[in-house]
Structures are given as structure tokens and as C-alpha cells.
Amino acid sequence: MRNFKRKTERGKISADVILRAARQVKNNGRSIRSVAAEFNINYRTLTRYCQKVSVEELTGENTVPRFSVGYQRNRQVFTDQQEQLLVEYLKKASYIYFGLSPKKRDRRRNQRKLFLLRVRMKRRSVLSARSHFLTAGQKEIY
């Protein structure tokens, strides 16, 4: 799909709205469904985040919770920052090694050395053959 257009607003609720709603439920003792309707959040979503929120977040002045809100990637191993650093490193490494594994890189280098060695040997053999056919009084002209 070339130009994706989002059809729903699911997963778009900001973290501070979730935290304010959770504070209403936990601190003021209001029902989850009434607070969810007031903040325009699904009640099951609010229930899930009310279970996640810690006591420090409920009593603190922070507006951003420690937990993440929205869609999460499946089995995410690295954080977004670590993943970006890894991407930059791999791009740099592929530039340095021209996208080859170390074994293939060494093989290519050795093939290049052999090619240059063959060219030099062929050049020497041609030069020695020329000098062999030249008489002692003639000079080579290039």
C-alpha cells in the first residue's frame, strides 16, 4: 500500500492523558468507566494502565509516566536509541568492508593480489622477450 491512511485513532492516546485518568481513578475513587468516558479512552485500556501505574506516579507531580503507551513492537530486543546506534554502526561497517564478510573480503583481496602478480609476471616476460630479440646496438623505443 503506497499511501497508507489511518482509519482509526486507536493507540493514539498520549501518556499524560492516561496518567491523569489513572490518578482520577486511584486518588479520587471514581469508577473506571466514568473516567474512561470523560477522557474518551476505552475502559479496558484504562483498566490495564491503572494496574501498571505505580504509587510514586500517582502521588508525584510528573506528567509523563514511566510505562510506555501505545503499540509496541513484538519481541523488541533493543530500545529505539540502541537500534538507531546499531543501524548507524552496520552502515558504517558495510561501507568500510563494502558489504562483505571478513572471509569474503580477504578472499577478494587475495584474488586482487594474484591478479596484480600475474600482470607483473606477464609484463616481465614480455619485456624479457623483447630484450632478447633486440640486438646489442638497438635501443628500445616506447
Q: What is the pTM of this model?
A: 0.49
Higher pLDDT, 50 or 122: 50
**Which tens digits make up the pLDDT trace of 76-129?**
777 788 888 888 888 887 777 666 777 877 787 788 788 878 877 877 776 666
The owner of cell 492523558 is: 17
Task: Report the phi/psi class of residue 24: left, alpha or beta, with left for phi > 0 and alpha for psi in -120 to 50.
Answer: alpha
Q: Where are the alpha helices (DSSP H) in 29-101?
A: 32-39, 43-52, 55-59, 80-97
Q: In which element (H, E) is residue 19 found?
A: helix 15-28
What's phi and psi for 131, nearest 5 deg? -65, -30
